[in-house]
Amino acid sequence: MVLQNTGKFRADRAEKPTKGNVQGNREETSEFRLRQAIENDAIDLRYGFDRIKDHQERTGFMLNMHATEILDEDKRLVAAVDYYFMEEDGTRFKVSYPFMPYFYVLTKRELIQEVSEFLTKKFSGTIAKIETVTKEDLDLANHLIGLKQKYIKLSFVNQTDMIKVRKDILKVVRKNRKKEDSNAYYTEMLAQTLATTSENVVHKIDTDQMENILDIREYDVPYHVRVSIDLKIFCGSWYTVKTKAKEALPVICPRSDIIERPEPIVLAFDIETTKLPLKFPDAATDQIMMISYMIDGQGYLITNREIISADIEDFEYTPKPEFEGKFTIFNEPNEMNLIQRFFDHILEVRPHVFVTYNGDFFDWPFVEARAASYNLDMKQEIGFSKNREGVYCCRPAMHMDCLCWVKRDSYLPVGSQNLKAVAKAKLRYDPVELDPEEMCPLAASAPQVLSNYSVSDAVATYYLYMQYVHPFIFALCTIIPCEPDEVLRKGSGTLCEALLMVEAFHANIIFPNKEESEFNKLTHDGHVLVQETYVGGHVEALESGVFRADIPCRFRIVPEAVQQLIDNVPRTLEHAIVVEEGVPMDSVTNLAEVTEEVKSKLLALMDQPLRLERPLIYHLDVGAMYPNIILTNRLQPCAMVDETMCASCDFNKPGALCQRSMAWMMREEYMPASRNEYQRIQQQLETEKFPPAFPGGPPRAFHQLSRQEQADLEKKRLSVYCRKVYKKLNAPG
């Protein structure tokens, strides 16, 4: 068969550029990305992080990392990660590590070569490298015997190119899945039966190889996480860094022999604002009265003399001996000078860590709005701005909002998560409390009382961070491939997934895709599901019972662990004496005797590792364990197996213990409307127009809405219909 050109080519009608499209296209242009990279380098330099250009070897503690773009020798923007380091003497530097982003594509096994060639031609100039790799695939039937799956790995010069190709392939994968689900198995069998002779049948040649793409994997891994996983580079650890020739990659080697963390510069601050009676503070009309902050244990207070009636003298607020707070006061004539003083002090000190309590939603937005009223751009001044998630962040510094730690990790009840309650529970002292309605009158009548209240919040925030949040977050950073800001704010499920991704990559296992919830899922008889849950199932306790300290138990000691304890005895005793008890080392007279006594007991344990001893009973908070056990079982829905998967497994033998059957029943609530009624409502919605995505934009058709918006509108319209026609909204299943 010969295909002839009809000469009737019709170009696709170009869409009218909308404000959103223009914004998106502008962000994809090389000029915008280059300008963004230059601005990032400029703010990094203001905080002392200069990209190293010499070939000197440096040893530094990694504080942070961010995705960036740099120019290569061909003047192309290539994807890279900026790693921020701090040396032992406090010197700062950063190094950029170029790394090609990539994802995997699964095709029909016999068509890998054809699809690879097709993708190379179709995305010529966009895909930098294409190769075939073999990976362990947990979705592959009988993969436990060593069967591997072949994937096509697509690598790109930068993230912009990757996103363009990923968008096209994702559409194709979704389309192919729908097509595969709708095809009945007997269709191909029928075609083969009818095809009696090759002369009478014209075989369809798949000219579009995109139809042979079955799946896309690891396309949604954030770029900086991708690089950290592949290179095993984590924040919170020491590394030796050396740059070579310009075209060569930097060499970053871990230094596991250095354990002690450096002491970064930490700034914890809190603001006090004016407000109308019985109203919340409004940045459009209210002003900042005071900014109190602590930098490495030294306190500062900036006052706005337009509001505060008198100058404040230097004073001390020390709620407990270990929480010292000596405050230096800056009395500024107005709010603009107050904000400028705060910004200038930040750039003078150049903190590594900014600490707030609910700063994402109050302190930073208020400071940003008040600074803007005086034509001060907070992002240009100190580098802080709101990102897409609504979090205030800065590239060269970390923003630790202690409220995030309290909500996720403190196990305090919801009613006890304000700063005063947290200080009582965790720091063990009663902070200064003041009625919000009394604050503005006190600024005029008793400014010293208001000052004490203001600095008490800064002291509580600083010491809460130093005592609990700082060691916890940086300990997690050593194993989780994320920025410290993300480790603080992400959910425990996301952090566990990041850990699993690290282990999976180094075991050559392809990551399973995240489970996508199906919008407006239908029951088998065509009703829209409202709620889908289960009855039954339980979390098994690891070991339960009554344990007694007078009944001997068998223990197996690991000698290597005991040897590590013996090596650390002097440092452990010094920490207990100096840090925990506050006793100077020179006043201890029997240190050598106690050290030898502890070592001798540990040596006795190491010499006889198999022991029968009476145990020491410690309380174990089982209530805190249950959420983590449940989260662990929920992490990978892809690990669920069915009879088909088990039937193909070589290890499926009578009496096999790998199958874990649980007694449970599906429980559903659905809308009484039928499939035909649901489809009529969909058809009606397709003829309507909907509000624009942004103020002043054109109205949108139904197909221009996101899938989430479409599903919400369908469910809302169907709910109104069911309430009117069936006199009820849900029906139990």
Q: Can you give the pLDDT at residue 537?
A: 62
Residue 443 lies in a domain: yes
Alpha-carbon distances of 317 from 12, 273, 474, 630, rounded to whole Å: 71, 21, 29, 44
- 62 by Cβ neighbours in 10 Å (0-12 / 13-18 / 19+) ranks as buried
Mean pLDDT of 229-247: 90
Task: Give me 201's structure tokens.
Answer: 């049948």
Within this chain, do residues 323 and 467 fall inside the same structural domain, yes or no?
A: yes
- Decide: 693 and 705 in contact? Cβ < 8 Å: no
What is the DSSP secondary structure assignment for residue 200, as one 8-state letter? Answer: T
281, part of any domain? yes
Q: Which two tokens stand for residue 683?
A: 């058809």
Give the Cα separation of 392 and 399 in Å (integer): 7
What percent of the chain clears pLDDT 90, i.e. is strictly above it? 60
**576 in any annotated domain:** yes
pLDDT at position 1 over 60: no
Average pLDDT on 588-596 reads 91
Residue 628 scores a pLDDT above 60 = no
Same domain, 345 and 463: yes
Quick one: 148 and 63 in the same domain?
Answer: no
Q: Are residues 277 and 363 in the same domain?
A: yes
136/37 same-domain check: no
Does residue 439 have a pLDDT over 80? yes
Of 459, 478, 497, the residue at which a domain comes to its end is 478
Q: How far apart (Å, rounded) are the C-alpha atoms in residues 460 and 382? A: 24
CATH for 79? 2.40.50
Alpha helices in 511-590 (DSSP H): 559-567, 569-574
Lowest mean per-residue pLDDT among 193-197, 404-408, 531-535, 719-723: 193-197
pLDDT of residue 485: 95
- pLDDT category at 2 given cuts 50, 70, 90 is very low
What distance in Å separates the CA atoms of residue 472 and residue 484, rounded to the nearest whole number? 10
User: At 469, which CATH number?
Assistant: 3.30.420.10
For the ranges 185-199, 328-342, 676-690, which has the lowest average pLDDT? Answer: 185-199
pLDDT at 215 over 50: yes
Judge contact between 657 and 651, C-beta under 8 A: no
pLDDT (0 to 100) of residue 641: 77
Whose structure tokens read 């939603």?
A: 361
pLDDT at 5: 45
Q: What is the pLDDT of residues 454-473, one digit of tens each?
A: 999 999 999 999 999 999 99
Whether residue 162 is found in the same domain as residue 299? no
Q: Is the pLDDT of residue 506 over 90?
A: yes
Q: Which amino acid is at 22?
A: V
Please state the domain count of the chain: 5
Asked if 353 and 338 sit in the same domain, the reply is yes
- pLDDT tier, 696 (very low <50, low <70, confident <90, very high otherwise): confident
CB atoms within 10 A of CB 72: 14
Q: What is the pLDDT of residue 24?
A: 46
Q: What is the mean pLDDT of the segment spanning 361-378?
A: 95
Question: Domain boundary at 462, 478, 494, which?
Answer: 478
Residues 329-336, mean pLDDT to the nearest whole number: 95
Q: Is residue 450 part of a domain?
A: yes
Most confident listed range (334-348, 435-449, 508-522, 717-731): 334-348
Residue 312 within any structural domain of the chain: yes
Token look-up 């009478």 returns 200
Show the CA angle centred on residue 577, arms to residues 572 and 580, nearest 5°.
90
| CA–CA distance, 65 with 82 (Å, rounded to integer) | 5
Query: What is the distance between the alpha carbons of residues 616 and 42, in angstroms, rounded to a whole number?
Result: 58
Q: Above 90 in pLDDT, residue 131?
A: yes
Phi and psi (nearest 5°) for 289?
A: -85, -45
Per-residue pLDDT of 379-408, as tens digits, reads 999 999 999 888 999 999 999 999 999 999
Residue 281 and residue 352 in one domain: yes
Sign, CA torsion 574/577/581/583: negative
The answer to whether residue 158 scores a pLDDT higher than 90 is yes
Write out pLDDT tens, residues 548-572: 778 888 889 999 999 999 999 999 9
In a domain, 518, yes or no: no
Asked whether residue 444 falls in the same domain as residue 473, the answer is yes
Q: Are residues 79 and 213 in the same domain?
A: no
- One-letter amino acid identity for 68? T
Q: Which two tokens stand for residue 243?
A: 């740059």
- Residue 143: the pLDDT is 86
Longest dimension (CA), the chain: 103
CA angle 482, 483, 489 (to 5 degrees): 90
How many CA within 13 A on the CB side of residue 253?
Answer: 9
Question: What's the pLDDT score for residue 371?
Answer: 96
- Given 593, 613, 633, which residue is the final one in a domain? 613
In-domain check, residue 723: yes
Quote the CA–CA distance of 570 and 201 in Å, as a whole number: 85
Strands (E), 515-609: 529-536, 553-556
Tens-place pLDDT, residues 274-324: 999 989 999 999 999 999 999 999 999 999 999 999 999 999 999 999 999
Verdict on whether the full-model pTM lies above 0.85: no
> Domain check: are 215 and 231 in the same one?
no
Whether 405 is covered by a domain: the verdict is yes
234 closest CA partner among 484, 489, 501, 507: 484
Residues 173 and 232 in one domain: no
Q: What was the pLDDT predicted at 197? A: 45
Q: Could you list the residue range(s) of the whole structural domain that residue 575 is in? A: 553-613
Q: What digits encode the pLDDT tens for the residues 477-498?
A: 999 999 999 999 998 888 988 9
